[in-house]
Each structure stands twice: as structure tokens, then as C-alpha cells.
Structure 1
Amino acid sequence: MTHTDTATASVGTERGAARTTGEQAVERALDAVPQWRGRRAWYTPVYGGLQNENWRVDVDGEDASFFLKVPGAGSETFIDRGNSHVAAERAGALGISPRIVHFDPSTGVEIIEFLDGYRACTNGDMKRPEIASEIIGLYRAFGSAEALPSTKTIIDMIEEHRAQAADLGVRLPSFWPALLREYRAARSALTAGGLDIVPCHNDPMPGNFLIAEGRPMRLVDFEFSSNNERAYELAVMATEFFYDDRRFTECVEEFYGAAEWSTLARVQVCSFLADVKWGLWGCVNAQLNDGWDYDYHKYGVWKLRRAQTKMTDPRWGGWLGAL
């Protein structure tokens, strides 16, 4: 899920020397790029992705390196590759994301320019106010873009994951019925007032923000992007980075221009929905594929537990009433 500069060597495995299934997938992807056929190429793994295999690619005769993403098995259950490609193209046109070099709609393989000198953000970076400000600037810019092909609101996402969990027989934690009751109350309150739909990135993993000293931040990985409720974009970021009430309010003011009570309430409710969404996502992922080296079930239950904490906040009823 991330584009991460790990300071790997510019020359790795040469095309034609593939040994593993991952390397064979890379070579098939390289063979599908018309302008690179017949040219020597080298590839090196880039670590840090959860669902995809990522590689740095160097091609004979090219001045720059490239970043190649091979989608992981089962990831198509959650990801509209065509929509994510359009989102990445529009972000690139806005100057907030790397340039796309090649996209294969049949496989979802995407190749973009490799940003030398950049590194992926860490959780520690997210505690820095200037980093949050840069992210908010990127989100405001992306939110001003033309509508994306896919509209999937936070409500749509949760309903999709609920259906997936039911179809797969996913066992949810014992407190899920209470959480479901409050989710339904939040859904009703949010939809009654109408949604503010704009293009959203929807995935504030630290590795999706690339930084370099003295250079503008870049946004990558648009796999979960869609037209969505504007408040959710900020809410999932603030929730993911564990901002306290003061920092939360500062971000709302910077994102919207003012931190009015109704706006704060909207973002707080969306932060609850964010944890419900990603909690269900984690539990479903755990059932879909046991080959990924990550404890998705633990992640999912933890997210759902944090959503439970939000709904027991004394302000919860006031937040719902303000929507």
C-alpha cells in the first residue's frame, strides 16, 4: 500500500533472471510496457506494503527510476483499479502525486516515477503539526478535483463490509451488536442532513505521504479513493494519528476555515465511522487470505474496540444531535 524509498541499490535482479513467483510477476509487468521491450532492466523489492508487492525498477537508457506495484491476491475484493488509476492521474495533474508511466487495467499493475530523495512518513512524523498541515493541503487540493468515476461513501463502505462479513461467516466480537446499534444511529443522523460529496483519498497510512527536505509532500496510493463525505477525509486522518481534542479542533479549523460545533460534531461522528469501517475491513481480510504476513483480525478487532470507546464518550449524543 505504500511507495517507500528504502535506499535500495539502483541495480538489483536483471530482467530474465527471475526465480520467485514475485519476480516472475515483475517481469511479466515489465514485458507489458511497450517502450521498454527489448531493453535491459533491473528490479529491487521495496518493502512496506500490506497488500501489494512493490518494486523499484531501473531501465537501460532511462535517467530516472520507477516504482512498480503488483496487486496482491484477493485485493480486488476491495479495490476498483480503474477508479484508483483515474484518481492517481488527476492527482498527478494537480502536482500532488508522482507521474504515472504505465497502467495495465487487466492486472491492475501500475508504474509511476520513483521519487528519489523522498521517504515515506512514519507514525512519529504524524505528530508534527507541519506534517498535518501539509496533508490537509493535499486533501483540500484533491477534494477540489473533478468527480471520480466511483462514488463510495463511508456508509457504502461499511455496508459493503457488513455484507462481506455475513457472506464469509466472519466472527465479529461480542460487543458488535451494541456497535451496530450506534452505527445505525450515526448513519441516520448523517444521511438525514445530506452528505458533502467530494473526491477523497480515504487511506491516511503514513507510508502514503512522501516527504523530502525542502520539497513539497507528495500523496500516493489511491486504491481506496472515491467520491465520499468531505468530513470523512479529515476524520480518518485525525483518528489514524491519535490526535487529542485540541489537535483535532486545530485540524478542523485548518481544513474547513472554522471549527464550529456542528462541523466538529460531523468530523467526530465520521471518526467513529472510520473505525467501524476499518475494523470490519480487517476482520474480513483475515478471512479472505491467510497468506498475508499480518494479523488482520487483531487489527480489525482493535479498530472496532476503539469505535466502541468513541460511542461511550459523554458527548456522543450531542454530536449526533448536531448533524
Structure 2
Amino acid sequence: MVAANRQSVVRARAEARLGGSLDSLESALTVLASPAWRGIEADIWLARRDDRSEIYKHYHTDLSHYVDPARAIEAAKRAGDIGVGPRVLQSWDEDGLFAMEYLGNGWRAGGLHDSANTAVRKGIVAAKKALQAGPKLSRDADIFSEIRAAYAACTSYRASLPKNMTAFLGFAERAEQAMSQLKIERVPCHRDGNTANIMVGPEDAVRLVDYDLAANADPYEDIGCHLTEVFDREPEARDGFAEWTGFFDEGLYQRAIVYGILDDLRWSLVAFAMAASSPRTTLEFAKYASWRLMRFEVTSQTSTAGDRLRRMA
């Protein structure tokens, strides 16, 4: 669907909800694949009429290999219902579109710099733990299946992949084998460590947004994605684990970190597939894929990575 048609779909839905012609329909978000993965999955529109304002999220159609819009909308509704995300006001699953509350002045999209703010960081953790404690979602997922699916998409689209991809996938296979020996209880998880996917409001309030990967999964995946995003060094990551859990356990910490390492592989393969298939050719998907894969190589192709697998619990 061309951009003008996509906008007309949103406008029609917004005018029906808000009761007439809009005063404005703005999409102020700068879409980036690199250096940050921001605004890739959907257009974000702010619709205004008189004293009412609503946000509309409209999914793109070139990401079916890694996002199910209907399931993402369901997760967004669940998060809004329990107060950890903006409330979903209405959805049109057939259009990959939903309306949610506009949080208003004083709220902004988060960034990596917010992780230095202890209050915000604890707010992120509290929101994700509240989601985990809520009712189950309709979808179960695991990072290993998603890595295989993303690699299959890369193969189908004839993506340009590095020659040592076999070694990279080998780490994921060893990790999956090690994880298979563990008892894992699946709970609803956000499964996205990107600090751009939070909203920060007055008095450091936090709301989670973007539930594109949300599913019932191992809660230590949520922790690992968070630690990898927020902390550059091992000592701080260990403190961050204790900040989340309230205790420190070496085996569980290593389990979380392995998930964080694998998250880089997952997103690099997703981005390589997008580079090979998406009609949005102005976005630097391959650049994003390359830097995520570079970090994955540094953290996965060492004896330390093997030690992590052996020490997981």
C-alpha cells in the first residue's frame, strides 16, 4: 500500500472515531533502521480534533516474517488494561491498525541515556515485571524458533549474509540444547530491550510501547534483553540483574546474558531479511544488521560464551 493510501486509511478511522474532519494528522517520528531501530514496524500518527487527541499505529506489510500485527495489538491491549502501556481505544486488525491514548505533554520517547536515571530504569523493570505477572497472552514464543524463522527468511530472500554464519548459528544451537535441560515457566513478556520503546513522563513515569515480539516466554529473556541494552560492562550488568530480581544467582544471571547475546543474532537476521526484501530501500537495514552481528560475534565466539552455557541454571 502506497504512503498516501496508508494515510487515508488512518484518516478515515480517526475521523470516524473523533466525529468529523481532523484539525491535524501528523507523523513526526523520524524513522530509522540505523543507528537505532525506530519506527520500522509501523507508522505512528497523532490525530487531533477540537480538544481530543489520539495516537494511531499502522503496521507495515513487509515484516510478516517476524511480526504478527494482530498478536502485537492483543499484547498492547493487555498492557494498557493493566496500566503498563497506553490504553488501546479501538483496533482494526484487518488493517493492522489500532488507536491508543495520547499520553500528552510531558511525555517523550525514551532513549539509552534514560538508563542512567535510576528511577526510569526501575520504572522499566517494574512495568515489565507487572506485564509478566498478568494474564497469559494467546501466543507462546521462543528466541530459538525466531532465529530459525529469521534465517529461513534470509535464505528465501537471498539475503547477503557473512560467510561465518554457520558458526554463529552453531552458538544458538548449543544454547538451545543447554536451555532444553532447564525448567522454564513461560509468562507474558515484552521481549524488547530497546529503550526507544518506552515512554518517559512527568516524575520519571514509564509506559511500555511496541509489543511486536510480545508473547509468553522465559522471563529471563526479558531480563537479558534489558541488561544487554542498558549495561556495557559485566559488573554493571550483574548489579542490573540484582536490581531486577532482588537477588543474585550466577546460573540465572548467565541464562539472562545468553538470551541477551542471542537477541543480537535475532535482530541481525531480521534486519538482513528486511534489507533483502523490503521496498523501503532508503532505510539502512543492512547497516543495523551488521552492527548487531558484530556485537554478537564479540560476545558469542569466545571461550567465555562457552562458560556461560555451562553455568546457566
Cα displacement (A) at 1:290: 4.1
List aligned pairs for 1:78-117, cutoff 5 A.
Answer: 78-116=66-104, 117=106
Residues 1:247 and 1:37: Cα distance change in structure 2 (over 3 Å): closer
> 3-state SS of the aligned residue for 1:77?
coil
Residue type of the partner of 1:81? P
Aligned partner letter, 1:128: N
The answer as to whether partners of 1:144 and 1:198 remain within 8 angstroms in 2 is yes
Q: Does the residue aligned with 1:285 lie in a helix, a strand or coil?
A: helix
Q: CA deviation at 1:242?
A: 4.1
Offset at residue 312 of structure 1 (A): 3.6
Amino acid at match of 1:162: Y
Q: Structure 1 residue 27 and structure 2 residue 8: aligned? A: yes
SS for the counterpart of 1:76 is coil
> What letter is aligned with 1:44?
E
Which of 21, 24, 46 is the aligned partner of 1:56? 46
1:203 CA displacement:
2.0
My pick for the range that moved more, 89-98 or 69-78, is 69-78
* Pairs aligned (count): 302
User: Aligned equivalents of 1:39 and 1:46: distance in 2?
Assistant: 22
Q: Is the partner of 1:46 in helix, strand or coil?
A: coil
Alignment of 1:317 with 2:306, yes or no, is: yes
CA deviation string 1:208-229 (max 9, x = no partner): 1111222521111112211112
**Structure 2, unaligned runs of 5 or more:** 31-38
Cα distance in 2, alignment partners of residues 315 and 96 from structure 1 = 36
- Do residues 45 (structure 1) and 27 (structure 2) align? yes
RMSD across aligned C-alpha pairs, in angstroms?
Answer: 2.1
Query: Structure 2 CA distance, aligned partners of 1:308 and 1:149?
Result: 34
Does the Cα contact within 8 Å between 2:25 and 2:46 map onto a contact in 1? Answer: yes
Match of 1:195 in 2: 184
Within the alignment, does 1:223 sit opposite 2:212 as a pair? yes
User: Aligned in 2, Cα 1:175/1:127: closer, same or farther, shift over 3 Å?
Assistant: farther
Taking structure 2 as the reference length, the TM-score comes to 0.89
Residue 32 of structure 1 and its aligned partner are, at CA, apart by 3.5
- Partner SS, residue 69 of structure 1: strand
Shift, 1:23, TM fit: 4.7
- Aligned partner of 2:124 in structure 1 is 135
**Equivalent position of 1:3 in the other structure:** none
- Are positions 1:73 and 2:43 aligned together? no
Cα distance 1:76–1:178, how it changes in 2: closer, same or farther (>3 A)? closer
Q: What SS class does the counterpart of residue 187 from structure 1 fall into?
A: helix
Q: Look up the equivalent residue of 2:9 and give its one-letter code.
A: R
Aligned twin of 2:36:
none
Q: How far apart in 1 are the matches of 2:307 and 2:85? A: 38
| Equivalent residue letter for 1:237 | H
Deviation at 1:25, TM superposition (A): 2.5
Partner residue in 2 for 1:298: 287
Letter of the 1:300 counterpart: A
- Whole-angstrom distance in 2 between the partners of 1:183 and 1:73: 28
Mapped to 1, the partners of 2:46 and 2:14 lie a distance apart of: 15
SS of the residue corresponding to residue 57 of structure 1 reads strand
Question: Which of 308, 313, 318 is the aligned partner of 2:297?
Answer: 308
The Cα of 1:319 is off from its aligned counterpart by 1.4
Matched, 1:234 2:215: no
1:57 Cα offset (Å): 0.4
CA contact (8 A) 1:33 1:102 kept: no
| CA-CA distance at 1:314 after TM superposition | 4.0
Unaligned runs of 5+ in 1: 1-19
| Cα deviation, residue 258, structure 1 | 1.4
1:65 is paired with a residue of what secondary structure?
A: strand
Query: Matched residue of 1:25: which SS?
Result: helix
Cα distance in 2 for residues equivalent to 1:208 and 1:173? 29
The TM-score, its normalising length taken from structure 1, stands at 0.87
1:147 touches 1:199 (CA, 8 Å); kept in 2?
Answer: yes
| Corresponding residue for residue 277 of structure 1 | 266
For residues 272 and 37 of structure 1, the distance between their equivalents in structure 2, rounded to whole angstroms, comes to 45
Alpha-carbon spacing, 1:167–1:234, altered in 2? closer, same or farther (3 Å):
same
Q: Spell out, residue by residue over 1:163-213, the C-alpha distance to the aligned partner (whole angstroms, 9 max, x if none).
A: 112222222112212212222111100122133311111223222111122
Amino acid across the alignment from 1:188: Q
**Conserved? CA contact 2:18–2:49, under 8 Å:** no
